[in-house]
Structures are given as C-alpha cells and as structure tokens.
Structure 1
Amino acid sequence: MSCKKCRDCGQTKPASDFFKRAASADGLALYCRECFGLRNAASKRRRQERLGKTMKPYQRRRELPEGMKYCPRCETVKEIGEFGSNRSRKSGLSAYCKPCHNQVIAEHKQVKYGGERNFLLKLRYGVTEQEVERMVAEQGGVCVICLRAPAKHVDHSHLTGLVRRILCFKCNGGLGQFHDDPAVLRLAADYLELRGSHARRMRIEVGAPVFGGPDRVRWDPFWRTRGDSLQSARHYHLRRKYGINDEDAKWLLKVQVGLCAICADHPAEHVDHDHDTGAVRGLACTGCNSGMGQLRDDPIALRRAADYVEGRLVQTVPTPDGGTRLSLTVPDVDPATVPQGGWKEFWEEDGRYRKETLPFDEELDMPTWVGTDEDGAFVYS
C-alpha cells in the first residue's frame, strides 16, 4: 500500500507518514504520525493534570533541512556542528546546542551540588566545600608544609585516593614533581645543603661541592677568552648564566653517569644552581629541578614535605576542653593562635628537628643527636 487515509484528520497520506502496527491488516497505524503525536500529547497532558502538573504546548515535528537540528531551549534551528556528541542518543548528538548545554549543566550542578566547585570536589575527592573550609580553618588558613602561603588546593594520595590536607599551589605541585616520594625529597634536602653523595663526589673531583658561577672570571682570568673558534649558542648561554661552558656541562654529565644528581633515576637534563651565589651544584632531571624550585629551594620545606607524605607531619593532639586540634610543628603550637607570617621561629626549630630525626628514629625509639659536649663527644637525647 502506497497511501492510506488517516482516521483523525481524514487526509490520504503516503504510507511513510504512518507508524508500523502489526495488529492492522495493512501493517500500518490507524493515524498518521502528526495525529498520533497529538493523541499522545493529549493523553499525557491529562495524566499530568491529574497529578497537578502542567506541560508545555504540543509542538509538531519539524521538517528540517539536511545537516540542521533544532535546539528546544533556545528554540533555534542550527547546524549540527553546533551540537555536542552524545552516544546514548540515536542521532549521536546532544539534545541542546553547546551554549544551551553548558547552561543546563551549570544549572543542574547549582541545584544538585550547590555550584561548580562543590561538584568538582565531590567528583574528584569525595569531599564537600564545607569540609574543605573546615580543614582550612583547622590549619589556621596556611599550607601545612610551607606555613607561609594560603591553603587553597586539596591534596590527596594518588595511591588511596584519600584527601590528606589543603596545600598551597607550589607545595602541591612540588609533591607531584617528586612523585610523592619521601626518600627523594630528603635526598633533595641533603643536596641543597651540599651534604649528600653528589656533594662528596664533587669535592673529590674539583675540591669543592659547587663550581662555576658569575664570579668565575675573577679567579680564572683566561676562561672567557680561551679558544678562538666560534662556540655553540648553548656555550654562551651557560657561560653567561651559570659561569660554565659547554665542555664543563659535558664533563659534569660524565661525572654523574648521565643521571640526575638527586634521584639518580632519570636522565640529567637541567643545570641546577644556587640562586644566591649563582654557583652550579649539579645536573638534575626535570622533576627534581622543578620540584626543588616549587618548594623554594628550601631544605626545611623538602623535609617537611617528606614527613607529610609519610603522615608524620600533621598530628592530632587533645585540647584542655576535651576536643582535638592539629599540630604542624615541633615544638607544638596551636595553628589558630599563630598570626599570618608568624611561623618563622617555629619553622627554624622544626627544621632542625626534622634534619636530625629520621622516620625510623621514632619507630624504634632510637636516641636523637642533639649536639656535642665540651669535650667534643656526641650528645643524644
């Protein structure tokens, strides 16, 4: 059958304008698609009215040109390129155009989660914005590692997925550069203090833990003019910034066997230098070099970061009223009582404690070195 008469509108229309119906003799529905839609809309409207709800007026199916789609939110016909993808729909396109889709999603997040930030916190870390604010208040508003910058970034363990504490941007990024490895963080602290294995190797090779620097010309007057041939761009960059040349860099790379002077796990790619003196300490990999920079080239911050990763930095202590609070330093002090910028004296004393105390010292209750007596003998506590 190529045509059929609709029982509602009485018009004779092509068979393609009717849905299929197995119960009919001709295999087609009794009503055309347009009338079928009107009947369904009227039936649904009656059901909704019985429930006390209202519906938008029925809109007939639109005949759209090829490559076009209608957005029901802005009620505009647009090209399909302006719609996002949605594999769950038959058309493979989202119901709304991209601007309307973003508005709908934002409204949904606001209604269900209270906003974009709360939605992301729940999605990524399983905490709410109120819980984060409570943690920041417990910390006294500062990053628990550096104790100087505002706490703004949620930090979590990549192994367990659990939230640890709220850090500043630099400390959070520095942990990531060191891959949350406390051993490498402590090696970096020793490296900065020129007391690690690399510093000992440099003393054997050149008689000092560092070399080069902008003042090199003062003690090596022929260094800048040695050789008449034109050198590489890298040679002049190294000479100007670090007081070494390309040959020095190659020699240092050979001394380090091509590996990072700190972790010895990755290729040495970057010249690391002391930002105060300009002297070169060694060659480091990208992670160690960037991580030290984000942790401000501060050995105390590096050791505090190592203890933080191991769960030894932030402690919960009882209060006189029977509650609890956080302790961030040794000696202990209530973070809520320390004003902004008032952590310096606690910072330095805490740094001395962490330099002299290793994780196994506390676990095995081993004595801690505190200095020497008048006769030069070691004193332990």
Structure 2
Amino acid sequence: MRQCTSCFQTLPLHCFYTNSNAPDGRRSKCKECQRVVSSAYKKKRRALANKGLLPPFKNEDKVSRTEYSLRKLYGISLEQYDKMREDQNYCCAVCLKHETSQKKRLSVDHSHTTGEIRGLLCENCNLSLIAQREDPDIFLRAADYLKKGSGIYVPEK
C-alpha cells in the first residue's frame, strides 16, 4: 500500500506506475492522478506547438518538426531547404553521394563566423571535413597532398 501525493488516497502498489529510480520502484502519484497531469501537460504543449512556439511531439507531424528545426537553427523554410536539395541534385555538395544512400537527411552547412549558409552536406562530410576546420587553405594543401603521393608502396602480403 502507498499514499498518492496528489489525491492522498492510500492505494495498492499496482495502482501506481513503475519508476526504477524510486526507492520502492513506484511513482509518487497514482495512475489516475498521473493521467490527469499528463493530459493537461500534453494539451498545454500542443497549444504552444500550434502557435509555433514549440516543436510538435516526436511522433506527430514530422514535416512541421523539421520545418521548426530549420527555422530555429538556420532561419530558412522547408521550401528553401528543398530548393537547395534540388539545386544540388539531392547530393552532398562535397562527396556527391545521393541523399538516399545516407541514413540521415543532408545537413545545412554554414559558416560559424559569418553565419552564411554554404550548402547541404552529408553527415560524414559535415562532421569530419567541414566542421573541424573552416580554413580553405588547409583543404587545398590536403588536396595537393592526396594528389602528390610518395611513390613508395606498401608491399603485398
């Protein structure tokens, strides 16, 4: 038996949801009180999402969640993002791999110094190439290095 912290009724443990962090493994509110609190939270959250102040819940309307992220992070609309994808033939601007060969959608690449959006990159190019260093001279030296080679080869085994 346990007392609910909301309605103060003493109820059997099966009337409380489980909580692995609690000492007795149960939540402090009974299931009925928890449902009331959860539905009020969801109603308030959904109203804020409809006003564009919060993104929708994860399992709702993926398109508007994406648009919310694009607007909040980069100040662009979903239409602008789609136009950039079309202009790049739905490929990463650096490695030219098609977006369908990627697990995630193309990332918006931008200069952290000026804020200018440069284009769309696959996750690998965005994280490993561009995000590490934004100095074009380093990339030119790296390209020369890769073209040059040494003329020495690893022996075959």
What interval of TM-score do these two structures reach, taking the shorter chain for normalisation? 0.3 to 0.5
| Higher-Rg member (1/2) | 1
The answer to which structure has the higher helix fraction is 2
Q: What's the TM-score, normalizing by structure 2?
A: 0.46
Q: What's the TM-score, normalizing by structure 1?
A: 0.20
